[in-house]
Amino acid sequence: MPYLRPLSPHLQIYKPQLTSILSIVHRFTGIALVFGIFALVYWIMSIALGESTFIKAQSYFRSWYSQIFLFGWSFCFFFHLCNGVRHIFWDTGFGLELPHVYRSGWLVLYGSISLTLCTWGYIYLI
């Protein structure tokens, strides 16, 4: 290839503000969710491999360090979902004015945090 394509500006170039932070977090949650999918594939495989493998997998997932990962993945899932919906609204031309971008940004942040807390509250308390 004769020409090198230009790179995206690196992360430290952006002034920390809600809009840039949420955009960066969207990418990071996406990357984190790759490993979440692999964990899901492992879980599905453990069901196919029989009861003893499944029990081993379940005990892995129930250990405290896995629970931290699962908590993280659940937040990544809800954040990526909510912010993804925000992106789709932008693609159709809605909410592009700066005050709306900030309002939807806070909504995504608080929404994903409360969805994560509700999920774990449901799992542990009910």
Binding region for other proteins (CB under 8 A) out of 17-25, 96-104, 106-114, 118-126: 118-126
Give CA–CA dist 6/59, Å, rounded: 47
Q: Quote the least distance from Cβ 27 to other proteins, whole Å.
A: 6
By the rule CB under 8 A, 37 interacts with other proteins:
yes
Q: Is 22 in the site for other proteins (CB under 8 A)?
A: no
CB of 108 closer than 8 Å to CB of 23: no
Closest CA to 114 of 68, 64, 66, 79: 79
Q: Which of 12, 13, 15, 91 is the binder for other proteins (CB under 8 A)? A: 91
Residues found in the chain: 126
The yes or no reply on residue 44 touching other proteins (CB under 8 A) is yes
Cβ-based nearer residue to other proteins, 68 or 88: 88
Decide if residue 112 touches other proteins (CB under 8 A): no
Chain residues in the site for other proteins (CB under 8 A): 1-8, 10, 27, 30-31, 33-34, 37-38, 40-41, 44-45, 47-49, 51, 54-55, 74, 77, 81, 84-85, 87-88, 91, 119, 122-123
